[in-house]
Chains A and B, each alone.
Chain A
Amino acid sequence: MPFSLTNPSYALPEMLMLGFALGLLLFIAFTGKEKMNWTFALTQLSLFATALVIVLSMGEQGLAFSDTYIKDSLSDVLKLSICLINMLVLLYSHDYLKDRGLQQGEFYVLVLFATLGMMVLVSASHFLTLYLGLELMSLCLYALVAMHRDSFIATEAAMKYFILGAIASGMLLYGMSIIYGVTGSLALADIAVAIDSGMLNNTVLSFGLVFIVIGVAFKFGAVPFHMWLPDVYQGAPTAVTLFLAAAPKVAAFAMLIRLMVDGLGGVQDAWQDMLIMLAVLSMIVGNLVAIAQTNLKRMLAYSTISHVGFLLLGVLSGTAEGYAASMFYTLIYALMTLGGFGMILLLSKQGFEAEEIADYKGLGKTQPWYALMMLILMFSMAGIPPLAGFYAKLTVIKAVVDVNLITVAVIAVLMSVIGAYYYLRVIKVMYFDAPEQQLTVQVSAPARIMFSSNVLLVLGLGLFPGSLLAICVTVLS
C-alpha cells in the first residue's frame, strides 16, 4: 500500500510540538546555561501553544497518513490533558531543579520530546505509530531518570528502568509481530475486522495477545510487572518522578484503549481474564506493600500500583461506560499524583528532600494550609467522599458490578479499606504528631497558587464530578 499524506492537518499539534522541541534544542545550544529562565518560559509556551492548537482543532475527526494516525475526540481530550499536566509538572519542579543544579536545557528538551511521544501514542491507529510513540516517550523518560548522574540511586534506577523497559518493549513488539502474522495487518482497524471474521487461529492469536498485555501491563506498572516502579519513583529526582507518574499514565491508558478495544476488541473474553488477574494482584500487592513504607515517594509508588489496579477495573468490564470510568480514574489519578509529588517538591529545599513520611510531623501546626491540601489529597486517594478519588473508585467499581463481576468488586472495596490505612498514617503524622522541625514552602508564588488550585480542583471535582464524567462518557461512547 503506498503511503499517502492525507489530512496532514490532523497532526498539527504534533508537528508544532516537534518544531518547538527542535527549536528549543537550538536555543539551548546557542545560549548555554545562562538563559535557563528563558528556556523554562519557552517550554511552557510550547506546551501552551500546543494545547491551544488542540483546543482550536477540536471537532474534526478522522484518519491521516494512510490510516496510521487517528484524530478523534478521545485523542483530543487526552492530548490536551497531557499538555496541561506537563505544564503543571514543569511549574512545580522549577525551583527544585534550580536548587539542585539539575536545571539544564536537556531536561526541558527531553520533556518536550517525551510529550511528543505521548501525543503520537495517543493518536496511534497502527502498530507502527503506536510503537513509535511509545519508544519516543520511553527513551526520553529513561534519560530523564538518569539526569542526576552523580546520584548513585538515580543511576541505578535509570539502569533498572531502561533494561526492564526495553524487555517490555521487546515483548510488546513480539506480540505485535505474532498478531501481524495471524491477521496480516498492522492497522488496528484491519486487525479488528480480521478478528471479527472468526477465521483466525485462536491459539496463535491468544499467544500474541499475552505478549501485548504484558507489554502494556509493564508500562502501567501492574503487578506482576511492577518491580521497576518503586525503585524508579524513589530513585529519580522528585521532579522527574512527578513527570513520569502523571502524564505517561494517561498515554498508557490511551495505548490500552487503542490496543485492547479498537484493535483486539474481538477477543475481549480472552483479555478480560488477564486484566482481572492484573487488576486484582495490583490492588492487593500495591496496597499491602505500601503499608510497610516509610519513604513517601516509595509509598506513593506502591499507591500508584494499586491505582493502576483500580484503573484496569473499568477497562476489563468491557463496556463503554467502563472505559469512560477508567478514563475518569486516569485523569483524577493524574491530578492527585500531581498534588502528591508536588507537595514533596514544595516542601523540599536545598539539602532536604522532604521525602520521608516522618519529615511531615506536625505539618498541621507549622504549615496549616499545605497540611490541609495534603489531607485532601490523602483522603481523595483513599477514596473518601466528597473528594474526586471517591468518584473515580465509585465509577470503576460500578462498571464491574454492572457486568456482574461481584467478587472482583468485593476485592476492590476490601483493598480500598486496607489502602486507607497508609493514607491515614500520613494524616496522622501531619496532624496528631508534634512538629520536630520548621518546614517552609519556598517555591515561587505561581507554583504555590497552582498547587492549591490543583488540590482544590480535587475537592471541586468531588463535589461536581458531572462535567468531567460526561466528557469521558462522550469521548468513549
Chain B
Amino acid sequence: MTLTDLPMLSLLIWLPIFGGLILLMMPGEHRGIRTVGLLTALLTFVLSLLLIAGFDSQTYEMQFVERLSWVRAFNIEYYLGIDGFSMPLIVLTTFSTLLVVIAAWEVIKDRLHYYLAAFLIMEGMMIGVFSALDAILFYVFFEAMLIPLFLVIGIWGGPNRVYATIKFFLYTFLGSVFLLLALLYLQFQTGSFAIPDFHAVPLTLNQQIWLFLAFLIAFAVKIPMWPVHTWLPDAHVEAPTGGSIILAAITLKIGGYGLLRFALPITPDASMTLDWLVIMLSLIAVVYIGFVALAQTDMKKLIAYSSIAHMGFVTLGLFIVFRIFANTNNGYGEVLAIEGAMVQMISHGFIAAAMFLSVGVLYDRMHSRDIYAYGGVANRMPVFTAFAVFFAMANAGLPGTSGFVGEFMVILAAFQANFWYAFLAATTLIIGAAYTLWMIKRVFFGEIANEQVAALQDVNRREFLMLATLAAIVLLIGVWPDPLLSVMHASVENLLTQLAQSKL
C-alpha cells in the first residue's frame, strides 16, 4: 500500500480535532495535558511531512483526493484534494500549531487543556479549509474556525479582549456570509457544489462582477486589505501569543488562498475588469499602512500593521498578472507574480510567527508590549537579541532571508505591469526597514532603560529551540527557494491558463 491510498487529508484534519476533544475531556490539573497536546501536534506535523513526500509536483491535478457523498439531498460532498497551492499552506499550518503548543508550555497557566484543545481543533479546521474541494465543506471549515479563535482571544487575551474578539468575529462573519451567497448562486448555476465545477462554469461579465465582489469582501476581510483591516491590530494586540501566531501565520493566508482558489479562476473576466481596484488597495496597504506601522508604540500593533503591508504584496502579485498579460507575452512575468505572492504568503507565515513569538518572549518577562518600556535589552539577552535582529531583517526584506524572495519576485513582476506599481511597491523596502529597525533600536539597543530590563533572563532552551528552528527555515527559503517554487509550479501554470481563457 502506498501513501496515496491512505486518506491522508482526512487523517490530517481529524487527528488534531480528535486530540483536541481528548484534551477537552481531561481534568484541568492532569499531568498528561502537555504530552497529549505535543504528541498530537507532532504527529500531525509528521503526517504533513509524509504529504510532502507523497506529493507529485509534476501535475496540477488534485492529489490525495477523497470524495464521498455527505448531504445527499443537497448534493453536498465530503470532497478533499490538494494541489501545489494548498500543500505548502497545510505544512505551514501543522508547523505553526506545533509552535503554538510549545510556546504555551509554561506560559499559559489558566485552563491549559482548553487552550491547547482550541488550537488543535482549529488546526484541523484550517487544514480542512486548505483541502476542501466542495464549496460548502470549505465554508463549514472557514466559518467553524472562528469559534475556537473567538474563544482563544476572549478567554486568554489582554484587558480589552472582549471588544477585540467580538469585532474580529463580526467582521469576518460579515465577510463570509457574502461568500456563502456567492457559493449558493454558483450552485444555482452549476447544479453542484464542487469547486472544480465552479471553475468550469461559463458566466456573464455581470454575474462575474457580483460574484467577484462577494469573494473580494469575504477574503479582503480575512487578508485583511485596507480599508477592512481595522479588526486585525485589535485582535493581535489582545490575543495571547499563540493566537497572534495563528492569526498572522494562517488565517491571513486563508484570505490569499481564497482569492487563488475562488476569485481568480471562477471569475477571471471580472478579476481582469476590476484588477485596478485590488491593485490600488494593495498599494495603499503597502505604502500607507507601512507609514501607520511607523507610528506605533505597541510592538504587537506594529507587527500587525506590518503584516497588513506584507499581505499587500500577496494581493498585488495575484492581480498584476492581467496587466502583464497585456504588456508582454513571454509568459515569464505572470509566473513570477503568482509564485512571488505564494512565496510571500509562506515566508510571511514564518516571519510573522517568529516576530510575534519574540514579542511573546519579552511580554512573558516584562508584561508590557510598549516599546518605551524597553531599552538596552541586548545587554541582558544577547542570544535573544541576535534572533530578534535576524527576524527583523527578514521582515524588512533583507536578501538571504525568505522575506526578500517573495517581495523581490513581486516587484520584479510589477515592473512588467507598470513602472509605478513597482516603484510604489519597492518603497516598502525603505519603509519596512524603517519601522522594523527603529523598533529594534529602541527595544534592544542603547542603555538599559530600567530595573525590570536589568533583571531580564536570556531565552531558555525551549524558546531557543523555537526561535532557532524558525530562523533556519527563514534562512533556508531565503537562500534556496527552489523546492518551494517547484512544488507549486505546475499549479501556477494551470491557474494562468485558466486566467487567460475568458469565461464569457
Binding site for B on A (CB under 8 A): 324, 364, 379, 384-386, 390-391, 394-395, 397-398, 401-402, 406, 409-410, 413-414, 416-417, 420-421, 424-425, 427-428, 431-432, 464-466, 469-470, 472-473
Known A-B contacts A394-B136, A416-B177, A424-B169; the reply to A469 vs B188 at CB < 8 A is no
**Beta-carbon nearest neighbor of A409 in chain B:** B181
Q: How far is the CA of A465 from the CA of B166 in the complex (A)?
A: 28
Q: In the bound complex, do residue B185 and residue A394 qualify as a contact, i.e. CB atoms below 8 Å apart?
A: no
> Is B146 in the interface zone, CB < 8 Å from A?
yes
B185: A residues at CB distance < 8 A? 401, 406
Q: How far is the CA of A324 from the CA of B173 in the complex (A)?
A: 26
For chain B, residues 124 to 169, give those with C-beta under 8 angstroms from any C-beta of chain A: 136, 139-141, 143-144, 146-147, 150-151, 154-155, 161-162, 165-166, 169
B72: A residues at CB distance < 8 A? 466, 470
A385: B residues at CB distance < 8 A? 139-141, 143-144
Q: In the bound complex, do residue A466 and residue B73 qualify as a contact, i.e. CB atoms below 8 Å apart?
A: yes
Q: In the bound complex, do residue B155 and residue A432 qualify as a contact, i.e. CB atoms below 8 Å apart?
A: yes
> Is B184 in the interface zone, CB < 8 Å from A?
yes
Q: In the bound complex, do residue A379 and residue B147 qualify as a contact, i.e. CB atoms below 8 Å apart?
A: yes
Q: How far is the CA of A188 from the CA of B72 in the complex (A)?
A: 33
Contact of A390 among B143, B154, B170, B188 (CB under 8 A): B143
Q: In the bound complex, do residue B73 and residue A473 qualify as a contact, i.e. CB atoms below 8 Å apart?
A: yes
Contact of B71 among A324, A379, A425, A466 (CB under 8 A): A466
Q: In the bound complex, do residue A417 and residue B184 qualify as a contact, i.e. CB atoms below 8 Å apart?
A: no
> Is B174 in the interface zone, CB < 8 Å from A?
yes
**Which applies to chain B's interface (DSSP): helix, strand, loop or mixed?**
helix
Q: How far is the CA of A398 from the CA of B151 in the complex (A)?
A: 29
- The listed residue with most A CB atoms (<10 A of its CB), out of B73, B154, B162, is B73
A465: B residues at CB distance < 8 A? 71
Q: How far is the CA of A402 from the CA of B170 in the complex (A)?
A: 27
A466: B residues at CB distance < 8 A? 70-73
Q: How far is the CA of A386 from the CA of B73 in the complex (A)?
A: 17
Q: In the bound complex, do residue B178 and residue A386 qualify as a contact, i.e. CB atoms below 8 Å apart?
A: no
Shortest B129–chain A CB gap in Å is 12
Known A-B contacts A424-B166, A466-B73, A469-B74; the reply to A384 vs B146 at CB < 8 A is yes
Q: In the bound complex, do residue A428 and residue B162 qualify as a contact, i.e. CB atoms below 8 Å apart?
A: yes
Known A-B contacts A394-B180, A466-B72; the reply to A417 vs B144 at CB < 8 A is no
A402: B residues at CB distance < 8 A? 188
- A-B contact list, 13 entries, CB within 8 Å: A324-B73, A385-B143, A397-B180, A397-B184, A406-B181, A413-B180, A421-B170, A428-B166, A431-B151, A432-B155, A432-B162, A466-B71, A469-B74
Q: How far is the CA of A465 from the CA of B237 in the complex (A)?
A: 38
Q: How far is the CA of A472 from the CA of B162 in the complex (A)?
A: 40
B150: A residues at CB distance < 8 A? 424, 427
Q: In the bound complex, do residue B155 and residue A431 qualify as a contact, i.e. CB atoms below 8 Å apart?
A: yes
Q: How far is the CA of A431 from the CA of B162 in the complex (A)?
A: 10
> Is B187 in the interface zone, CB < 8 Å from A?
yes
Q: How far is the CA of A285 from the CA of B441 in the complex (A)?
A: 54
A432: B residues at CB distance < 8 A? 154-155, 161-162, 165
Q: In the bound complex, do residue A413 and residue B177 qualify as a contact, i.e. CB atoms below 8 Å apart?
A: yes
Contact of B184 among A364, A409, A424, A473 (CB under 8 A): A409
Known A-B contacts A395-B74, A424-B169, A469-B74; the reply to A386 vs B184 at CB < 8 A is no
Q: How far is the CA of A74 from the CA of B139 in the complex (A)?
A: 31
**Beta-carbon nearest neighbor of A425 in chain B:** B166
Top 9 closest A-B pairs, CB basis?
A: A413-B177, A385-B140, A466-B71, A401-B184, A469-B73, A432-B154, A417-B174, A470-B73, A473-B73
Q: In the bound complex, do residue B136 and residue A413 qualify as a contact, i.e. CB atoms below 8 Å apart?
A: no
A390: B residues at CB distance < 8 A? 140, 143
Q: In the bound complex, do residue A469 and residue B71 qualify as a contact, i.e. CB atoms below 8 Å apart?
A: yes
Q: In the bound complex, do residue A398 and residue B161 qualify as a contact, i.e. CB atoms below 8 Å apart?
A: no
Shortest A192–chain B CB gap in Å is 26
**Beta-carbon nearest neighbor of A472 in chain B:** B73
Shortest B372–chain A CB gap in Å is 29
A427: B residues at CB distance < 8 A? 150-151, 154
Q: How far is the CA of A472 from the CA of B74 in the complex (A)?
A: 12
Identify 19 new A-B residue pairs, CB closer than 8 A, beyond the known A384-B146, A402-B188.
A324-B73, A379-B147, A385-B141, A385-B143, A391-B71, A394-B184, A409-B181, A414-B177, A417-B173, A417-B174, A417-B177, A427-B151, A428-B162, A432-B155, A432-B161, A432-B162, A465-B71, A466-B73, A473-B73
- The listed residue with most A CB atoms (<10 A of its CB), out of B72, B154, B162, B173, is B173
Q: How far is the CA of A324 from the CA of B74 in the complex (A)?
A: 11
Q: In the bound complex, do residue B143 and residue A413 qualify as a contact, i.e. CB atoms below 8 Å apart?
A: no
Q: In the bound complex, do residue A398 and residue B166 qualify as a contact, i.e. CB atoms below 8 Å apart?
A: no
Contact of B144 among A386, A428, A469, A470 (CB under 8 A): A386
**Beta-carbon nearest neighbor of A420 in chain B:** B173
Q: How far is the CA of A409 from the CA of B180 in the complex (A)?
A: 10
B143: A residues at CB distance < 8 A? 384-385, 390
Q: How far is the CA of A167 from the CA of B188 in the complex (A)?
A: 42
Shortest A407–chain B CB gap in Å is 11
B70: A residues at CB distance < 8 A? 464, 466
- The listed residue with most B CB atoms (<10 A of its CB), out of A324, A364, A398, A425, is A398
Q: How far is the CA of A470 from the CA of B69 in the complex (A)?
A: 13
A-facing mask of B43-57, CB < 8 A → 1, else 0? 000000000000000
**Beta-carbon nearest neighbor of B125 in chain A:** A386
Q: How far is the CA of A413 from the CA of B181 in the complex (A)?
A: 8
Q: How far is the CA of A258 from the CA of B169 in the complex (A)?
A: 40
B181: A residues at CB distance < 8 A? 397, 401, 406, 409-410, 413
Q: How far is the CA of A379 from the CA of B147 in the complex (A)?
A: 8
Contact of A398 among B144, B146, B187 (CB under 8 A): B187
Q: How far is the CA of A410 from the CA of B154 in the complex (A)?
A: 29
Shortest A182–chain B CB gap in Å is 36
Q: How far is the CA of A324 from the CA of B71 in the complex (A)?
A: 14
Q: In the bound complex, do residue A421 and residue B180 qualify as a contact, i.e. CB atoms below 8 Å apart?
A: no
Q: How far is the CA of A428 from the CA of B144 in the complex (A)?
A: 17
- The listed residue with most A CB atoms (<10 A of its CB), out of B162, B166, B169, B177, is B177
Shortest B363–chain A CB gap in Å is 20
A391: B residues at CB distance < 8 A? 71
B161: A residues at CB distance < 8 A? 432
Known A-B contacts A409-B184, A432-B162; the reply to A420 vs B169 at CB < 8 A is yes
B174: A residues at CB distance < 8 A? 414, 417
Shortest B240–chain A CB gap in Å is 13
**Beta-carbon nearest neighbor of A328 in chain B:** B73
Shortest B161–chain A CB gap in Å is 7
Shortest A77–chain B CB gap in Å is 15
B170: A residues at CB distance < 8 A? 417, 420-421, 424
A421: B residues at CB distance < 8 A? 166, 170
Q: How far is the CA of A395 from the CA of B187 in the complex (A)?
A: 12
Q: How far is the CA of A421 from the CA of B167 in the complex (A)?
A: 10
Q: How far is the CA of A427 from the CA of B70 in the complex (A)?
A: 30
Shortest B43–chain A CB gap in Å is 23
A417: B residues at CB distance < 8 A? 170, 173-174, 177
Q: In the bound complex, do residue A398 and residue B74 qualify as a contact, i.e. CB atoms below 8 Å apart?
A: yes
Q: How far is the CA of A409 from the CA of B182 in the complex (A)?
A: 11
For chain B, residues 305 to 334, give those with C-beta under 8 angstroms from any C-beta of chain A: none
Shortest A432–chain B CB gap in Å is 5
Q: How far is the CA of A420 from the CA of B180 in the complex (A)?
A: 16
Shortest B6–chain A CB gap in Å is 22
**Beta-carbon nearest neighbor of B182 in chain A:** A401
Q: How far is the CA of A428 from the CA of B164 in the complex (A)?
A: 12
Q: How far is the CA of A445 from the CA of B187 in the complex (A)?
A: 46
Q: How far is the CA of A379 from the CA of B144 in the complex (A)?
A: 10
Q: How far is the CA of A386 from the CA of B140 in the complex (A)?
A: 6
Q: How far is the CA of A420 from the CA of B166 in the complex (A)?
A: 10
Q: In the bound complex, do residue B166 and residue A384 qualify as a contact, i.e. CB atoms below 8 Å apart?
A: no
Q: How far is the CA of A466 from the CA of B174 in the complex (A)?
A: 27
Shortest A96–chain B CB gap in Å is 29
For chain B, residues 56 to 110, give those with C-beta under 8 angstroms from any C-beta of chain A: 70-74
B136: A residues at CB distance < 8 A? 394
For chain B, residues 172 to 194, give those with C-beta under 8 angstroms from any C-beta of chain A: 173-174, 177-178, 180-181, 184-185, 187-188
